[in-house]
Amino acid sequence: MKTRVTIHRDFTIAEIDNRLYSAFIEHMGRAIYTGIYEPGHPTANPQGFRRDVLDLVKALQIPAIRYPGGNFVSAYKWEDGIGPREDRPVRLDLAWRSKETNHVGLNEFAGWAKDAGIEMMLALNLGTRGIEDARNYVEYAIHPNGSYWSDLRRSHGVEQAYDVKMWCLGNEMDGPWQIGHMEAKEYGRLADETSKAVKAFGKDIETVVCGSSNDQMATYPEWERQVLEECYENVDYISLHKYFGNSSHNTLNYFAKIEETGRYIQSIAGVIDYVKAKKRAKNDVFICFDEWNVWYHNREQDSKNWRSWDWPEAPVLLEEDYNLEDALFVGGLLNEFMRRSDRVKIACIAQLVNVIAPIRAEPGGKAWATTIYYPYQFASLFGRGTALNVAVDGPRYDADAAQDVSYLDIAAVLSKENNEISIFAVNRSPDQAMELDVAILGFAGLRLIEHRMMGGDGTGPRVANTTDAPDRIKPRKGDGIAVVDGSLRGELPALSYSLIRLA
């Protein structure tokens, strides 16, 4: 298979917003309890947060994190998680039928996020609650002092208000499973009024309104149109969610779901443009893809478990053992976000620890990286700057999820600051190597400074990292690619992911 690619320094897509590499963590399963927080763990800091997990988190350089849900947020009382721990009530979390001790709440999580160097993006409960509680929460979190809620925060030992700019107006409100689910118009009205209240607290506050829970919802994309028609002028982002799987073990169809996602983004961009035109609006609304990941390995069993269990505390839930093909998929999906960085400004891998996560943590034991950790890390570290247009001329295939799909999945990012280009390339073919010729125009004297690779060594697509063997799949030094006469040439082995850095 031969593929020719052309990149030009001046043919740009957009400046990538660093928040494209954000994450999400929810009070569910073992994400918080025995995930990031485990007092008594040998590595726990004085606040009870695991240092081993924190180190893995820090190495990802995550810009922002969405918290505390997810479905959990739609019946959450944020006041349960503030003040002295001994006074905090144990509640039943209706979303995952689990027990919530409230040992971690806003202030503890904020301390953790600060240590991790991550900005918080907080979700408001618009399921069982509304504008009044939203404004109280925002006042508690970000108002400096001299009011009931800000002074309450100070009395809890937090003198300095948090610098939280991003507020999510509920979660998946289109989903019938959501506690407090609404019709589009009804939700759009509530989102509009809540956004106005939240924005009263500061000029730089941004809000995210809920789009569809995925592109298979019966109400998609009419939901987005109706919601935006109610609130367009008062919001900054509309959320997209999508989870992926390969239950049929059809690798090429799995990768084609990345193209399908491109269409999803394009369709919502179209709805945004339509509503903007219809309302003669002056402002722009961008996309916040605030939940995405692979989720299918244990999904059916997990669903049976949580529907029938007896309100356990921090149960094992959605702990997926990711394999090589999942890592390539995640690398490819991040490529799609870079390619659509003109419309997608924020994206959050869902989730971060234990629950459908790049990081796993054994209670009392070790923390380790799943296969998807690495492409996420490479994108976060080296995918910052200007996304470049990449013209691809090579073989293509048809699949159920999408037609006319390129075997090569590629994105390129120029860091003007370091005068460096990073190329992220996946050869999707399960059995054929790809001869690659990348003309890189508008640069002089480029040389290869790093090539890291995953797969491409005959490892089967479904070999996974597991608790017993957490290091099976890891990036290694790549080979077979070189700069020749200003072009990047060489071979990408079948079923491989490459990070190629040039300067």
3-state secondary structure of 270: helix
35 lies in the site for ligand AHR, by CB under 6 A: no
Residue from 35, 63, 68, 69 in contact with ligand AHR (CB under 6 A): 69
Which of these segments, 64-72, 453-461, 469-477, 482-490, binds ligand AHR (CB under 6 A)? 64-72
Q: Which of 38, 108, 119, 172 is catalytic?
A: 172
Q: How far apart are CA 9 and CA 14, in angstroms?
A: 12
- Exactly one of 20, 21, 26, 220 binds ligand AHR (CB under 6 A); that residue is 26
Of 20, 53, 350, 388, which one interacts with ligand AHR (CB under 6 A)?
Answer: 350
Query: With respect to ligand AHR, which residue has the nearer C-beta, 69 or 456?
Result: 69
Catalytic position from the list 26, 224, 291, 320 = 291
Counting beta carbons within 10 angstroms of the beta carbon of residue 80, is it exposed (0 to 12), middle (13 to 18) or buried (19 or more)? Answer: middle
- What's the Cα-to-Cα distance from 358 to each of 92, 367, 501, rounded to whole Å? 27, 11, 23
Q: Is 172 a catalytic residue?
A: yes
Rounded to 5 degrees, φ, ψ at 490 are 150, -155
- Which of residues 17 and 172 has its CB atom nearest to ligand AHR in the complex? 172
Both tokens assigned to 305: 């478990």
351 is a site residue for ligand AHR (CB under 6 A): yes
| String marking each residue 188-227 x if it binds ligand AHR according to CB under 6 A | -------------------------x--------------
Half-sphere exposure of 150 (CA within 13 A, CB side): 13
105 counts as binding ligand AHR under rule CB under 6 A:
no
100 in catalytic set: no
Q: Is 291 in the site for ligand AHR (CB under 6 A)?
A: yes
DSSP string, 221-241: THHHHHHHHHHGGG-SEEEEE
Q: How many residues does the chain have?
A: 503
C-beta separation of 181 from 94 below 8 A: no
Judge whether 288 and 345 are in contact, CB under 8 Å: yes
If one asks whether residue 150 binds ligand AHR (CB under 6 A), the answer comes out as no
Which of 65, 262, 85 is CA-nearest to residue 157?
85
Q: Under the criterion CB under 6 A, does residue 290 sit at the interface with ligand AHR?
A: no
* Alpha-carbon gap, residue 259 to 234, rounded angstroms: 31
Task: State yes or no: residue 172 binds ligand AHR (CB under 6 A).
Answer: yes
Q: Is 121 in the site for ligand AHR (CB under 6 A)?
A: no
| Catalytic center residues | 172, 291
Q: Footprint of ligand AHR on this chain (CB under 6 A)?
A: 26, 69-71, 171-172, 213, 291, 350-351
